[in-house]
Amino acid sequence: MTEDEQRYLTTHQAHDFEALRNRWSALVQPCSLVEHTLSDESGYPVLAYQSRAFAESPAGNDEAIYLCAGVHGDEPAGVWGLLEWAEANPGLLQNKACLILPCFNPWGLINNRRSDADGRDLNRLFHRADLPLISAWRKVVGDARFGLALHLHEDYDARGLYLYELTDPEWQLGEAGLRGAESAIPRDPRDEIEGLPFQRGILRRSGDLSRVVEDELDGGYPEAIYVFQHHARAALTFETPSEYSLWDRVRAQRQFLDAVVGAMAR
Ligand SMILES: [Zn+2]
């Protein structure tokens, strides 16, 4: 273990939502972010940040980015990787149209639980506009179009990095993202993950996914599928393996963001 890793692991704040919130708050003014609270029904705010470019022109376009972490509270690396990426890219946040959901399930993060306070898996509820949180989320997303949506997750069964890439076939950014992240953690070598066929850590899909929702998910809508169907040209769900060191997982998440957003600009 390196000294940096040891320092990180002996002082980590993985499930400290207040610490996370304070660091995002410190970015609001210097990065000209607009903060919204989608809900605080769990006792903790579900925050959304719009960059100035997004707030001024919320219709978005192929340049706009949607970023979300912490839908599952027992998957902290995405939450911290996203924060570190934002802290390292103030210029990008000032200029680019971005909508950021830094921790969609704060109760879950605090309690290290996949579900929310009511025992629900939020990542199967994005079709449920009757729920106050989802209805508030729809309001803040509006009619926006995004070139890229990133959904940051972790998997305790994973043997390495992998991703679900929902995309217009002409717009493949996932491979660049994995390439950027694999110096921190290697790709999951399996060709079957969660019962589905993967190639070099990627499962790519495009077109109409309503059959996937019916056949594989019992009609429950994950965020990525909903966003891909209604708002984004590509929606990538990135997974780091929870049994690896938190230090490596946070670095992998951050490097993934750097690489995939960089690939988008090329
Ligand atoms: Zn997850």
* 72 CA distance to ligand 1 middle (Å): 5
pLDDT in tens, 190-212: 999 999 999 999 999 998 888 88
Structural domain count, the chain: 1
**Nearest residue to 52 via CA among 68, 70, 64, 69:** 64
- Asked if residue 134 has pLDDT above 80, the reply is yes
**If you measure from the C-alpha of residue 75 to the centroid of ligand 1, how many angstroms do you get, rounded to a whole number?**
6
User: Which residues touch 23 (CB under 8 Å, ≥6 apart)?
Assistant: 83, 87
CATH number at residue 132: 3.40.630.10
Strand partners, 165: 204, 236
Q: How many CB atoms lie within 10 A of CB 80?
A: 27
Report the separation in Å between the CA atom of 44 and the middle of ligand 1, taken as the mean of its atom positions: 20
> How many residues are present in the chain?
266
- Give me ligand 1 centre to Cα 153, in Å: 4
Centroid of ligand 1 to alpha carbon of 141 (angstroms): 21
Element (H, E) at 164: strand 162-167
Q: Going along 54-156, which residue ranges are E strands?
A: 60-69, 98-101, 145-155
Cα(109) to centroid of ligand 1, in Å?
Answer: 12
Please give the distance, rounded to the nearest whole angstrom, from the Cα atom of residue 121 to the centre of ligand 1: 9
Confidence of residue 147 (pLDDT cuts 50, 70, 90): very high
Task: Read off the pLDDT of residues 77-126 as tens digits, 9 standing for 90 and up.
Answer: 999 999 999 999 999 999 999 999 999 999 999 999 999 999 999 999 99
Question: How far is ligand 1, taken at its centre, from the CA of residue 79, in Å?
Answer: 11
Asked if residue 241 is part of any domain, the answer here is yes
Within a domain: 1: no
Q: Is the pTM of this model over 0.85?
A: yes
Average pLDDT of 252-266?
A: 94
> What's the chain's average pLDDT?
95
Does the pLDDT of residue 61 top 80, yes or no? no
Domain residues for the domain of 261 are 16-265
Q: Is residue 9 part of a domain?
A: no
| 123 CA to centre of ligand 1 in angstroms | 8
Please check whether residue 2 lies inside any domain of the structure: no
The verdict on residue 196 lying in a domain is: yes
Give the Å distance between the CA of 71 and the centre of ligand 1: 7
Largest distance between two CA atoms of the chain: 49
- Report how far ligand 1's centroid is from the alpha carbon of 151 (Å): 9
pLDDT above 70 coverage of the chain, percent: 100
Place of tokens 């103030």: 90
Q: Is the per-residue pLDDT at 135 higher than 80?
A: yes
Kindly give the distance from the C-alpha atom of residue 161 to the centroid of ligand 1, in angstroms, as a whole number. Answer: 13
Q: What's the 30 CA to ligand 1 centre distance in angstroms? A: 31
pLDDT at 208: 83
Per the structure block, which two tokens stand in for 98?
């971005």
213-239 pLDDT, tens digit per residue, is 888 888 899 999 999 999 999 999 999
Judge whether 4 lies within some domain: no
How many angstroms does the Cα of residue 238 sit away from the middle of ligand 1?
Answer: 9
pLDDT of residue 225: 96
32: nearest Cα among 54, 58, 9, 65:
54
What the block records as the tokens of 132 is 């106050």
Residue 186 lies in a domain: yes
Location of structure tokens 């090329």: 266
pLDDT at 216: 84
